[in-house]
Structure formats: C-alpha cells, structure tokens
Structure 1
Amino acid sequence: MRDHRHTETRNKPQGIGARVQRKEDSRHLHGKGNFVADMFLPGMCEVAFLRSPVAHALIGKINIPEQYASSIFTREMLDALDITADSTLPTYQSSTQPPLAQGKVRFVGEPVAMAFAKSRAEAEDLLEEVRIDYDDLPIYADVHSSRTATEHFVHDDWNNNTFLTLHADRDFEKHSAPAEVIVNRKITLARQCMVPMEGKAVLAYWDHQADQLVIVSATQVPHMIRTAIALFLKMDQGQVRIISPDVGGAFGYKCVLQQEELCVAWLAKKHKRPFRYIEDRREHLIAGANTREHHYDMTVYADKTGRILALDARITIDGGAYSVWPFTIGLEPGQAIGNLPGPYDFKGYRCISECIATNKPGFVPYRGVARTGVCFAIEMTINALADAVGREPWEVRLDNLVKSEQMPHINVTNKHFDSGDYPSSVRRALEMIDIKRIREEQQSPRADGKLLGFGMATYTEQAAHGTSVFAAWGTPVIPGFDQAFVKITPDGGLEIRVGVHSHGQGMETTFAQIANDVLGIDLNRIRLIHGDTSQTPFSTGTYASRSLVMSGGAVAQASKILLKRAFKIGAHLLGTHVDNVVLEGSNFIWGDKTVSIADIAEAWYLSPQRLPSDADPAGLETTVGYKPRVDTGCFTYATHAAVVAVDPELGSVEILDYVCVEDCGVMVNPMVVEGQTIGGIVQGIGTAMFEETPYDSYAQPLASTFADYMIPGASESPKIRVDHFETPSPHTEFGAKGMGEGGAIAPPAVIFGAINDALKPLGATELLDTPVTPRKILNALHQKNTKTATSERSSS
C-alpha cells in the first residue's frame, strides 16, 4: 500500500519507483548462486580450528604430535600481527585479539590452534590429537561479576574490565526540576547470535601470475578486509585481492575482520596453495560474535499529561572479550547514548553508557546497531508513563513526537532529523490496526479464553551517516565519498562498478533501476560488478543502511554525466543543436529522426570519425564520488503496531495482526523495500520472543544447536502489512533514505507492549526482559497472584 499524499508519481516502468523483479533472484532460485562453499580449487585443503573449552584460563603446554607438526599451527608459529581496533573515544581501553589465542583464552570457543587436511573431517581428527593444559582464572560471565573484579582482568594490561564509559548531559537538572510525574523502569535485552543462512566462509590462495594473495570471503566489506589483511599480515595492499561472491546473509556479522579470515590468509601466503574454512552452525552459536545484550535503567520526568521534560538513563552493555576491527566496541555504546531519545522532542537529557568486558565472544554490530535496544527501552518507558498519567500510549506518543512543522529538527543529542511526519505514521498505524475495534473487543471475553493486547512503537533509523559521525565515534576506518564507475559499453549496454557489496539487498536490481531512470537503458542490458577489490572503486562497504544512498547516489550522478555527453554526440549525429533533442527511453529524438544509445556507443568506440570535433575525450565512462550534502545521515522513520492473543493458561502468544507504516524517502523499488522490512520484522520477532544465547556461571554457552537456540520460522511469522509514506530527503540524490535495518528495530517494543496490555487486566507483573517466553508470562501472572494473596492476608 502507498499513501499518495506523500508519493511522487513516476512513469518509468523500470526506473526509480518501479516494482520490477530482482535480477539476482533467477540464479538463486535455479541453484546457480556462487558461494564460497561452492568453490573448489586443485590441491585445496580444508581448515579446522581447535577451540577453547573454558572461558578464562592461562594456556600452559601445547602438545602437538610430531608426525602432525607440519599441519597444525598455534599463535607462536604465525608471523602476523594481533588484531587491534583502537578508538579515539575518551576512556576507551584498547584490546588486542590474537588470530589464535596466545598466553590465555578469554571465551569458550576461542580458537587456540588450527589444522589443515584434504577434508574438514581429517583436519578435525588431527586436532583431536592436540593436548593443551589450561590453568583456570576467575570467570566473568556477566557485567555484574566483571565490574567487581580487582585482579585477573579480561585484558591483563587494564586496571578494570570496562571498555569505555560515555557521558551526556544536556540541561538535565533544569528541565527535570518541574516534573510532576517520575517513572522508572529497568529493561534488559538478552544476548543473541546473528544466524545468517551462511556463516563465516573464506578461501585463500596465491595467484602466482599476479603475485597476489587472493582471498575469497563472504564479507560485506571487501575493501576494508583488504586493508586489514595487508595491515595485519604486513603486506602491500597491491599484493592483496579480496573477492566477495554471493553472500548468504550477514546482518553485520560479516562487516568486521574475522580471526579465521586472517588465519586462512596467512596459510595461503605461507604455503602458496589454496585453503578454505567454512564455519559450521555449532561454531557460530558458540564462538561467533554476539550482540544485543543491553541493560537499561530509565527514569523519565514529565508533566501530569505525560509530556516528557527530561530523561535520565544508564546503559550497560556486555561487550564480550574483544573489540572488533574496524568499528570497535565503542560503536554500540556510542549509538545507544545518541539514539536513546528516539523520535521524541524533549529538552533535558542525562545518560551514562558503558561497555563492560566479559568472558564471552566479542560484540559485533547487528542489524539495527543499538537501536533495537534503545527503541525497546524508550518505548517501554513511554508505555509506563502513559499508564502513570492514565492515558492511551498513542496519545502520549503523539504529544511527544517531533512534529512535521518542526522539520528539519535537531534533537537533544544533536541528531539532524531531515524530513518526515512522525505523528502521521502513528495515526495511520492506528487506522490500519483499527484500534477502536480492538479496544471494543477487549471489553468482552473471547470464547477461547485468550486475552487481546495492543502494542505500538515509533522509531527513527539514522542511515548513510558519514565522516563527521564516525569520526566522533573514533573508529579507525571512517567513511568518506563512495565512488561508482559507470560505462556505456560498445553495444549500448551499461556496466556499473561499485565498492559496496550485496548480501541480500537486491543491489543488482536497484542500482540498475537508478541508472535506467537517468539513461533509459533496459535493465537486462545493465550489469553490476561488485565484490572484487581489483575491479571496483574503494568503498568502506555495506553497513549502516548506506549503500543505496551513498553508492546509489554516485551511480545517479555518474549516469547524469554520461547522459550529458551522450546528448552532445547524439545531437551531432542527428544534425541539430543539443537543446532540440529529447530522450525517450534510450533513444535521442529530433523531429522524425532517432539515434539510440547503441548508435552513440558505436560512434564513440568504432566509428570515431562521426563524432563532433569537441567531443569530451573522457568518453562514455566516468567515475564519480558521492556523499550526501549533510553527512550526519538521513532519517528513515516508522511506526509499527500489533495485536496479540495471550493464553493465560499456557503463556503462549499469537500475533494476530502486524502493521508497519514506514517512510524511507523515495523508494527505488517498493517491492525490495517491503521484502527488507518484512525480513527485518521477523528478525525483530525473534529478538522479542525466541532468540537468546544464555550462559551459565562458568560462561559456558547453553545454546549450541537449533534445538536450544530458537529462531522464528514460517509458522511463527504473522502476515505483515506495510504502508508507505514518501518524504524525500532534502540531502540525498533523488530523495532516498536508507532502510535496511529498520524492520528489526521496533518489534520487541511492539510485542512486549501488546503482551503487557493483554495481561494488564489480570494485574500481571510487567514484562521488560527479552525474550518473552511462556514461562515468563506464567511467572508474571503467578507473581500477581502471589501479591494479591499476600495483600488479602494482610488486610484480614
């Protein structure tokens, strides 16, 4: 569905705004995708890793049988640098991550040794023969035990276990003082894994002809991985080539340098032969990077109507053992402290955001980076505020949201909201969910005994944020201009080369649509080349909902440059002035005469005698760098709402209806937008109801298979309805905004709000910790019953 009040009508059947099928789907549906696991090279060996069985211990003697010594390696044998991700953030404590553990291990599953053989099974058999002595150290399984440590810190050169602490204070005392209502809530998100269909995957070999180390990696950021491999293997970048083929999902898991990538690259450099490592699912669930584990202590200050005056918060993040390269652990607390106020307009803000090191796998950016947590925290707090002042939760939201007439708006944490109508998205979501009917139905008991509940949440998604933002976060690699190379081929087709890489976003389609919108060349004649550092211009890669805005903007600008050159040649071939020529499709027309782009390409490449004497010598190809006019990012926003039915006897939850009203600016392909949104919502449902990586007191992971780690499937995914507003961003090419992460941000807040709403008439304890499970629901009801019984005994 589309709200035409906000939509710019476009008539081009393949250009921006068209619902064309994705070009890349055909090969995947026919089993013709090309993934690392599909690749085999002559003489290739498979690599396996021996991983630590304990969370924190000194490494003693490592005994490797002599007959296997040439195939098994430990850290001391690798002439590679440790992975170091430094940050310029104040209070940041730097950590180094060895490619294989050295001196001590810091989490269960940390690789200590690696072996290679003709098959993965044989390599694992070799590792079974290795004996390692461990001397146990104190284990920090959570932030609470880690905070109280006085010795044997996670990193020996630190003086505590805190990665960093950030502070914000914006006129808090002034604006909190007049508050008539104060509400406090403590809110927690469980630790999760990313669980892409394809885990880590890397194949490395030495190209003797090019004298290059070639690494084929399932990565989101091929150019950054090239930089990292060259840095940590002490090589010239010209000797390193990264190829990223089809990637089976990533969600942030593949936007950092992995230890295994560095190890396999080192093997190929040393032995000058092919090596490959494919992560199995158990490795991913045990040792793969974790995410989402946030703790919030929220206090909101408001007037008696629920108008927010100030917010006081403390955010504590369990960062695991290591800070990842290049984004560092500073990204998560930085995003959290900056985005916690969400789309709301208030003046007083005080927040402490800290990240604590524990004996768990390192924290990696995951779809939504901190914003799923901050949305959950602020929205649950607003629900509590609405309850405290006796109003409907949407009424309090509407009073506090930034209004359309305030745009552009700079909020309390200096976020630059560029455009949009946040309250209208709330009203539209209420209309789609039919809130009046839901409230009426809640007044009458259902035949099945289940309880109806309604929940909603509104959020902003900062997308395509650039140089100034990442510089403020102190990361070692900071994005600048993204470049696109665009070339009209000799037969009138189009070739596009970009440095970003797709792992499911449909770039081969949407980038072609952008070029088609300018040049009119048929999508079937447009080819996108990406994922190879030897063939594409530099980009920091695909993350932060940036690719379509940044590289897509470069494609648009480059296409416009080529269009101008083509017009000049076309006018010359038509025998008229360029001002007399019009473009229809990919044809240049003057009166009854027509010249196609193919004719122009033929003149440039094959018949240059037909060209005008002042033809641009740069020809029909160009490289353009682009970033938005304001690099603080553009802000997509949305309101999600849901209706659930809760069984008070079983604690089960059924999502009866789920709606999303989203504004990501001008949509290049609404079908791709909806697919991304729906996929993100299902991931958010996983965060809300299913996914958790629990640890015992020894920091042993308790979910190592899909029997223990639950993810939503088809039967747990409701029908999701999506409606669109289109408010063009004033800062980007063709008004687009990024939206790849947004769907995953709101669902926990929406679903928890709906469940709490359903249980409220029974006086159940408020649910504030993900994931919500039947046991937690029944416990909430039981605690209510216990409190009621205690109260009755006291009164008697």
Structure 2
Amino acid sequence: MNALTPPALLRPETPASAQGIGERVQRKEDRRLLLGRGQFVGDIRMPDMLDVAFVRAPLAHARLNGITKPEGLENMVYTMADLAGVKPILAASSLPGFKRSVQHPLAHGKVRHVGELVAACVAPNRARAEDIAARVEVDYAELPVLADMHAAMEAPTRLHDDWSDNVFAETRVDRRVAEGSAPTRTLRRQLRTSRQCMMPLEGRAVLCWWDHRLDQLVMYSAAQLPHINRTGLAGCLGLDQGQIRVISPDVGGGFGYKGILLPEEICCAWLARHLGRPVRWLEDRREQLSANANCREHAYDIAVEVEADGRLVGIECDAVVDSGAYSSYPFSACLEAAQIGSILPGPYVMDYFRCRTRSAATNKPPILPYRGVARTGVCFALELMLDAAARELGIEPFELRSKSLVPASAMPYTNITHKLFDSGNYQAAMDQAVAALDWTGWRQRQQAAHTPRADGNPATKRIGLGLAVFCEQGAHGTSVYHGWGIPMVPGYEQCAARFTPDGVLELRIGAHSHGQGMETSMAQVAHSVLGIGIEQVRLVHGDTAQSPYSTGTWGSRCAVMSGGAVGTACQALADRMRAMAAVLLGAPAESLRLEGGRFATADGTAALTLTEIAYIWYRAPQKIPPGIEPGGLEVVAGYKTQPDTGTFSYACHACAVEVDTATGQVRLLDYAICEDGGVLLNPLIVEGQLIGGLAQGIGTALYEEMPFDAEGQPLASTMADYLLPGAGEMPPLKVLHMETPSPHSLFGQKGIGEGGAIAPPAAIINAVNDALFALGAELTECPASPERVLAALASASAAGARA
C-alpha cells in the first residue's frame, strides 16, 4: 500500500522525484560519519582544559558524616558545600499526590544509590583526576537499603526523610463502556520486566567553558534536548537562559538516556565559571553501568477476562514501576508508571478497564523513559496475557486478537482511555505479518520437531511461535503533556528556513538527531516543497544559539513535528519567492508553476530558479521593485498536529524460536514485521530504525538485565556481565510497510522511531511459551535467560510430579 499523496493541508507543487518524500534516499550524513569525520563531545579539545573525575558513593543508602579532601589538593576537589548558590534538581509533576525529590548535583546529607556523585575532582587529564578522587575520604553511616520496589513501598525506612511513604505517585483508572452477557474466563498472572541499562554507543559527555566576551556559559553536551537542558541548567545555576548556550554536536545514540539534565552537567558548568577554564567530563562504560540511569523495571499483577470465542471483555491491573532514587528532569518519576494507565489497553476494544499504578522509590539509579517508554512493558504484559488466553481456549493467538482489534472501519477511533487513534488497519497488519512469517508452515515444522524421539523421550529442541500487536502514540502535543504536569510541554515546533546568496537552503530546527537521519529526511521534505536538490539543503540543529526553541527529540516526534515545521516553512518561503518571481517575470503569481526548483510562466517561455532569485535579493537588489516583502528570503514557521493529540503508528511482530530444553538457550529462527508509519518520508531510514529497534528489543527479551543485590549493589558493572545482542543474534527478517496516511499530520506521516523496540519482548516470550506449553512450563519475566527457562521447566516438572 503506497499512499504517498499528502493530505489537503499541504500539497507540494513539485512532482515526485527520486529525492522527495517516500524515496529511499541514502543518508547524507553517513559519509562523514563512516569516514570518521563526525564531531562528538569527546573529539573537542580546548586550550587549558581540565578533566573531571567524580567520587561516587560505594553504598546505596548512607548518611554523609564528612568528606576529607587530600592534603595539598584541596583546591582540586569540590563538594556540595563548595558549590555556592547552586540549587538542586527538582523534577516535579502536578499529578495529585506526587512527591518531590530533591537531587543535589553533589550529595548533600546522604546518598541514595550506588554511584551517586559525592565530590568532583579536577586535573589536567582524567587519569590524574581519578588518582585525586581515590584519595578523597568519605565518612558514611550506613542506612537500611530499599532494593526491592514492592518491599520499599511497605518499609518503615524513608528514602526521602520528609515523605510519608516511598511512592512518588499513584494513579487509578476505572472505566466501563459496555456490559457483557456471554460466559467468560478470567486469567491472572504476575509479570515482570527486568531493569536494564541504556546502551548508546557513545556515553554521556559534557564540556563547558565561560565565554567572557559574551558573558555566557557555553556547554557542549551529548544531549537530546538542548533547550530543555538550558532551561534546567539556568534554574540550578541562577543564570538567565540568554547566558547559557547549549550545543549538541554529533550524538552517538540517545534512546532517552541523553534526554535529562545531568548532575554532571551542573557540576562542569559551575566549575568552568568558577575556575575560568574549560572543564570536561566523559562518561566511561563502568560509570554508565554502575551509577547512571536505568530503565524498564516493571511489575504487573494483571487479569484479563475473555469470552469463549476469544473476545477481550476487560482488563484489571495493578502495576508498579521501580523509579529509583530521584525524579529526573524534565520527565519526572511519574511518566513511566502513569502512562501504563493510559496505554495498557493497546489497540483493542473492550468493555471495561481498571488500572492502578505506583512509582516506587528505591535505592537504585533513577529510571528514564527508554526507547518505547512504558509501551514495551505494557505490550509485554497485555500480549503475554492474550497468548495465554489463546492457549487456554485452544485457538491461534491471531484468531483471538481478531475478535477485539479496533476495526479499520471505526477509524478515527477514541478508545477506552480516550486515546484518539487517527487511522490504520490493525487486522491487515497482523494478517500480513502472520503470512510473511509463514505461520502455517512453521506450525507443521513445530509438529515434526516435537515428535518424541525413537527412545521415547521428548525432543529437546522445541519450536514456538509468537506474535505481538501494539500501537504507538507519537508526536505528543500540548494537551497531552500539559496533562502530565511535568516541566516540559511541547508547543509549536518551529523551523527557520532561509536561502543564502548562492542558493543554499538552510533549515534551522530545534529537534536534534542522534541517529535518525534527519539531515536527509528534512532535506527530502524541502525538496518535495521547493524542488531543489537535497545536496543544496543544509540542516542546522543542536545549538540553542542558532535553532528555534524546542522540547527536543523524544517520543517519535521528529518526522511529524520537525517534518511539519520544515514543510510549513518551505511553503511560506515558496509563497514569498513566488511573489518576487511574479514581479521579476512580469506574470501573475497564481499562473507561475514551481517545478524542479524554478518558477516558470504558464507557457514555459520564461523562468527563474530559486538560486537566481536568491542572488537577486542579496547581490542585485537594484532589480527588486518597490512593494516586495522586505522580510526577504528568511521565514520562521511553526507547526503542530491538528488535533494535537499526536499520531498513532502500529505494527505486528511475529516470530519463530527454538528452545533447547537441555540448556535453556533460545534461538530466533525467523522474524516478520508489518508496520504502518503513515506516509514514510524515507522508507530506507524507517527500516534502519525498525532493525535497530528490533536489536534493542531482542536484548530486552533475551539478554539485557541489570540485577541488584539486597544491599543495592549493581551486579553487572562491566560488559563481561551485561549482555548485549550482536549481529549473530539477529534473525532472518522480513519487513513489510503499510502506509495509511494520518489525517492529523502535514504529509500523512506518523512517528515510528521507537516502534521497533516495543513488540519484540512480547513476541519472543510468547514464542518461548508456545514452545514450552506442552511441557507445562511458562515464562512470566524477561529476559528469557537460560536460567529462567530451566527454572520454568523444573517448576513444571515438580508440579507434574506433585500432581
């Protein structure tokens, strides 16, 4: 299905070409990145620069009785007592009952997780700074540790002394829209997703210096939200935002990990101003694994009620998210858990939905919204329950889902939690994914593989099939985030578009790329409107001094919001240049055709290229008659979806796995994805996003886990302990695209950047459970490590023996 005609709001005059919207254009940025010509924070060097190493807490919960600096090195070690005038990080929410956590850049009073910053040590190089840090003596008084989220909510110990309990926030949803009458069955499970680290190729990095000429702090940071970081930094340092310039150069992956204000950023900024020298911190992998933000730790006590034919009647759920020790700016500690209550129903129709969520505070690093945010856990919980129901009823899982998926005829559809699904055909996506996997063929191979061996013993290599369906809200608007009550509300996304005197089009946007290929896709949008070659387009972003204010890159919003802003700005620029061309050509403006980057008269006898118009404006203004718009060839345009509830992409993932019951190993045999991202700006880039997301989802499903012991100590602090999927773990893959245009976006595009990571844990664990079903074993937690698979088999065997 290729619906590449944009909605009525903006129809480019330039006909489709090999560079426009919908074309598989190779990424412009790849050449410099592959040749090592990218510029990351770690590549930037400044004269007289100091490196920072931090003293980090070795205990998860302790009072600070005192800090002793090494003798003779006192002026190279800084504690919170030295950071005069620096305010703590406060990431609050206006949700009823939300409790604020106070996070000082350096520990004040006590530490609340292993790796919390206690002191900052500066030296001409990192090795020397680390030597100084090793000589700092800290007197800790240990406190009881809250390492388990359920126990923490009931414990008398308080993580934050002024709290009444250890819960950041609690939400409740209770909705019924219909009354059923058919006989039903109810299934209940306790499900969990394990805590993970977030693993961009590049760690977090900061370089700060004070520009005395402009009386301005300049901060280079590997950040997804430069303007939001500036806002938070200004509040903590007591500076006005004009005194701070945040620059995000090339960023080696973000995934949400680089979407918060860092204590390290605050420390480096204060030190740079205090010392009058550039100050840099580059995160090493051990710091990242053992000390910094985590993700994904959810627990669900969930029940689903279904009719005998599989129709979903309702869901009841009590969900807890381990939010760690602090609420991170700007998303706050409530976002992950509170979203469960609004998105758990997924793409299904049901009679009732009841959900309670809690954000538990524990002695672990703060939890952040990782690629897919709460959707990965929600998809895992609901889709595992639907497969369990299908097994209980003896029907195929896709047959059960067909009874409850929102039908295409109902679009646009407002679901039970008031989410407005803009467009789509969920049934068709599932049908195509099932067919692409060859579900029937795999069922036949499964039957043959499960035939008992000649010695009568069961086969040890078992095949299982699984699928998962989800929908993803992207490009969230003002009303959505205002409702969360957090200190970040998106408004109009803006683009400043201008032609240079030689006809190069500069696009300045506030969102920042950390692997999404925006330099290419935004140029394709400009080409579709103006007809100029994408090599003639330059994208400027990641610099608060040059780019319009933006809440940045998160929530699958760039294609929709930045793409919409670029399209709107280019159209405004085209309108302005049309008026100029009409005067210069002596023809009515409405008669001019814009094709191939040139305005031509209706009879084709005269034409002006956009480059020629730019030259005249800047270099030959004597040719411009009076009355022309004096604003010239530079416009700033704003855009947001209408309505501003965002877009809903969706997909079905289906897979076949092999489970070795002797070793517990799980191997992916085949995988199929059918997704609908509306009109795809660049299908090649979309596929890259899907494949990268799939790799991360495979990590969640099978490998990645950050365990903590009872004392809050991280147990996977090196890459020898924290497992990541590699190329060898990627399965044979089929990717199918549906393109149902969104009526809410400028070109019909939908946000899709996070989608690849949402469904794999559910689809893969469903396949594992399908493989083990005849043995009475079932997994209720991911990752499906060999230990968990063998434990499930042992439990089933013991239960069978008891029976």
For 1:732, which of 739, 742, 745 is the aligned residue?
745
User: Would you say 1:767 and 2:779 are equivalent positions?
Assistant: yes
**Take 2:449 and 2:233, find their aligned partners in 1: how far apart are those partners?**
63
Contact 2:672 2:734 in 1 (8 A): yes
How big is the shift at 1:317? 0.6
Return the match for 2:430 from 426, 433, 458: 426
Counterpart pick for 2:339 among 335, 338, 353: 335
The SS at the match of 2:209 is strand
Aligned residue among 184, 205, 223 for 2:227: 223
Give the match for residue 265 of structure 1. 269
**Is the contact between residue 467 and residue 478 of structure 1 (CA under 8 Å) also seen in structure 2?**
yes
1:714 matched residue in structure 2: 727
| More displaced stretch, 566-575 vs 615-624 | 566-575
Q: Letter of the 1:445 partner, please give it.
A: A
Partner of 1:161: 166
Name which of 49, 67, 70 aligns with 1:44. 49
Question: 5+ residue gaps in structure 2?
Answer: 7-14, 454-458
Q: Say whether the 8 Å CA contact 2:530–2:595 is kept in structure 1.
A: no
2:9 aligned residue = none
- TM-score w.r.t. the length of structure 1 is 0.97
Q: Secondary structure at the match of 1:19?
A: coil
Q: Of residues 248, 256, 263 in structure 1, which corresponds to 2:260?
A: 256
- The letter of the residue matching 1:377 is A
Counterpart Cα distance in 2 of 1:325 and 1:92: 14
- Residue 758 of structure 2 is aligned to residue 745 of structure 1: yes
Q: Which residue of 2 aligns with 1:183?
A: 187
What is the CA-CA distance between 1:673 and the residue it aligns to? 0.4
> How far, CA to CA, are the matches of 2:794 and 2:567 in structure 1?
59
Match of 1:686 among 679, 686, 699: 699
Aligned 8 A contact 2:659 2:666 in 1: yes
2:507 to 496, 499, 502: 496
Partner of 1:400, secondary structure, is coil
**Aligned twin of 2:543:** 532
CA distance in 1, matches of 2:183, 2:212: 71
Question: What is the aligned partner in structure 2 of residue 450 from structure 1?
Answer: 461
C-alpha displacement of 1:178: 6.0
The whole-number CA distance in structure 2 between the counterparts of 1:359 and 1:218 is 26
- Superposed displacement of residue 534, structure 1: 0.6
State the distance in 2 between where 1:157 and 1:775 align.
Answer: 41
Give percent identity, aligned residues only.
Answer: 49
1:788 aligns with 2:800: yes
Deviations 1:589-631 (A, max 9, x none): 2223221111111121122232243322222110011111111
The answer to whether the Cα contact below 8 Å between 2:70 and 2:132 also exists between their aligned partners in 1 is: no
Q: 1:466 aligns with which of 477, 480, 494?
A: 477
Per-residue CA deviations over 1:16-37 (Å, capped at 9, x if unaligned) read 0111111111111100010111
Q: Deviations over 1:263-312 (max 9, x none)?
A: 10110121121000000000000111011000001111122212111111
**Alignment partners' CA distance in 2, 1:254 and 1:32:** 22
> Quick check: 1:451–1:646 contact (8 Å CA) kept in 2?
yes
Q: Distance in 2 between matches of 1:410 and 1:194?
A: 33
- Greater alpha carbon shift after TM alignment, 401-410 vs 476-485: 476-485
Bigger mean CA deviation after superposition, 367-376 or 176-185: 176-185
Quote the offset at 1:580 in angstroms: 2.7
For 1:631 and 1:744, the matched residues in 2 are separated by 25
Residues 449 and 463 of structure 2 are in contact (CA less than 8 Å); yes or no, is this contact kept in structure 1? no
Q: Say which SS state the counterpart of residue 168 (structure 2) adopts.
A: strand
Query: In the alignment, what sits opposite 1:566?
Result: 577
Measured after TM superposition, the shift of residue 578 of structure 1 is 2.1
Does the CA contact (< 8 Å) of 1:451 and 1:647 recur in 2? yes
- Residues 85-117 of structure 1: CA deviation (Å, up to 9, x unaligned): 111001111101010011101001111011000
Paired position in structure 1 for 2:115:
109
**TM-score, with structure 2 as normaliser:** 0.96
The aligned counterpart of 1:170 is 175
Instruction: Specify the alignment match of 1:22 in structure 2.
Output: 27
Per the alignment, do residues 89 and 177 of structure 1 end up closer, same or farther by CA in structure 2, a change over 3 Å counting? farther
Distance 1:236 1:606, change over 3 A: same
CA RMSD in angstroms comes to 1.4
Confirm whether residue 372 of structure 1 aligns to residue 376 of structure 2.
yes
Superposed CA deviations along residues 689-722 of structure 1, whole A, max 9, x for unmatched, are 0000001110100000011000101111123221
Question: 1:794 aligns to what?
Answer: none
Query: For residues 515-542 of structure 1, what are the alpha-carbon distances to aligned partners after superposition, in whole Å with 9 as ceiling and x for unaligned?
Result: 1110011111110000111111100111
The one-letter amino acid of 1:113's match is: A
- Choose 69-78 or 753-762, whichever is displaced more: 753-762
The answer on whether the counterparts of 2:497 and 2:508 sit within 8 Å (CA) in structure 1 is yes
Q: Is the 8 A contact 1:518 1:560 kept in 2?
A: yes
SS in 2 for 1:66: coil
Q: Do structure 1's residue 622 and structure 2's residue 635 form an aligned pair?
A: yes
- The Cα of 1:774 is off from its aligned counterpart by 1.3
Match of 2:16 among 7, 11, 16: 11
| AA partner of residue 216 (structure 1) | Y
Q: What is aligned with 1:58?
A: 63
Q: Provide the secondary structure at the position in 2 that maps to 1:735.
A: coil
Give the aligned residue type for 2:130: E
Check the 8 A contact 1:43/1:273 in 2, yes or no.
yes
8 Å contact from structure 2 (residues 496, 509) kept in 1: yes
- C-alpha displacement at 1:788, in angstroms? 2.2
Instruction: Tell me by how many angstroms 1:382 deviates.
Output: 0.5
- 8 Å Cα contact 2:61-2:143 kept in structure 1: yes
Confirm or deny: 8 A CA contact 2:512 2:553 kept in the other structure: yes
The 5-angstrom pairing of residues 276-425 of structure 1 reads 276-425=280-429
Instruction: Give the residue type in structure 2 aligned to 1:751.
Output: I
CA distance in 2, matches of 1:268, 1:234: 15
String of CA shifts for 1:207-258, please: whole Å, max 9, x gaps.
1121111000000000111111111000111111101100011100111101
What is the CA deviation profile of residues 565-593 of structure 1, one whole-angstrom value per residue up to 9, with x for unaligned ones?
Answer: 22222233323222332222112222232
Residue correspondence of structure 1 range 650-689 to structure 2 within 5 A: 650-689=663-702
Taking the aligned partners of 1:148 and 1:435, their CA distance within structure 2 comes to 46
User: Deviation string for 1:631-654 (max 9, x for gaps)?
Assistant: 111100000111111122222111
Aligned partners of 1:710, 1:724: CA distance in 2, in Å? 31
CA distance in structure 2 between the partners assigned to 1:120 and 1:411 by the alignment = 54
Report the Cα offset of residue 179 of structure 1: 5.2
CA contact (8 A) 1:176 1:301 kept: no
Picking from 767, 771, 777, the partner of 2:789 is: 777
- What amino acid is aligned across from residue 69 of structure 1 in structure 2? E
Indicate which of 708, 715, 723 corresponds to 2:736. 723
- State the Cα distance separating 1:786 from its structure 2 match: 2.1
**1:77 alignment partner in structure 2:** 82
Give the distance between the partners of 1:87 and 1:787, measured in 2 at CA: 46
Deviation for aligned residue 1:11: 2.6
Whether 2:754 is the aligned partner of 1:754: answer no
| 2:715 match: secondary structure | coil
Q: Tell whether the 8 Å contact from 1:189 to 1:292 is kept in structure 2 after alignment.
A: yes
Q: Which amino acid aligns with 1:44?
A: M
Contact 1:752 1:772 survives alignment (8 Å): yes
Q: 1:359–1:178: structure 2 CA closer, same or farther, 3 Å change rule?
A: farther
Shift of 1:443: 1.7
1:507 to 504, 507, 518: 518
Q: C-alpha deviations, 1:29-78, integer Å up to 9, x for none?
A: 10001011111100000000000111001011211123111010111111
Q: How many angstroms apart in 2 are the aligned matches of 1:553 and 1:135?
A: 55
Q: CA 1:282–1:615 in structure 2 vs 1: closer, same or farther (change >3 Å)?
A: same
Q: After superposition, what is the alpha-carbon deviation per residue over 1:108-153, rounded to whole angstroms, capped at 9, x for unaligned? A: 1111011000111100111111111111111001112212212x30
Q: What SS does the aligned partner of 1:733 have?
A: coil
Match of residue 210 from structure 2:
206
The CA distance in 2 between the partners of 1:65 and 1:752, in whole Å, is 52
Structure 1 counterpart of 2:151: 145
Whether the aligned pair in 2 keeps the contact of 1:569 and 1:612 (CA below 8 Å) is no
Q: Is the 8 A contact 2:476 2:645 kept in 1?
A: yes
Conserved? CA contact 1:7–1:725, under 8 Å: no
- Hey, what's the Cα distance between the residues in 2 that align with 1:524 and 1:577? 31
Determine if contact 1:176/1:310 at 8 Å carries over to the other structure.
no
SS at match of 2:186: strand
The answer as to whether partners of 1:179 and 1:309 remain within 8 angstroms in 2 is no
Q: Which amino acid aligns with 1:539?
A: S
Given residue 220 of structure 2, which amino acid in structure 1 is its aligned partner?
V
Q: Specify the code of the residue in structure 2 equivalent to 1:754.
A: A
Is 1:64–1:72's contact at 8 Å kept on the other side of the alignment?
Answer: yes
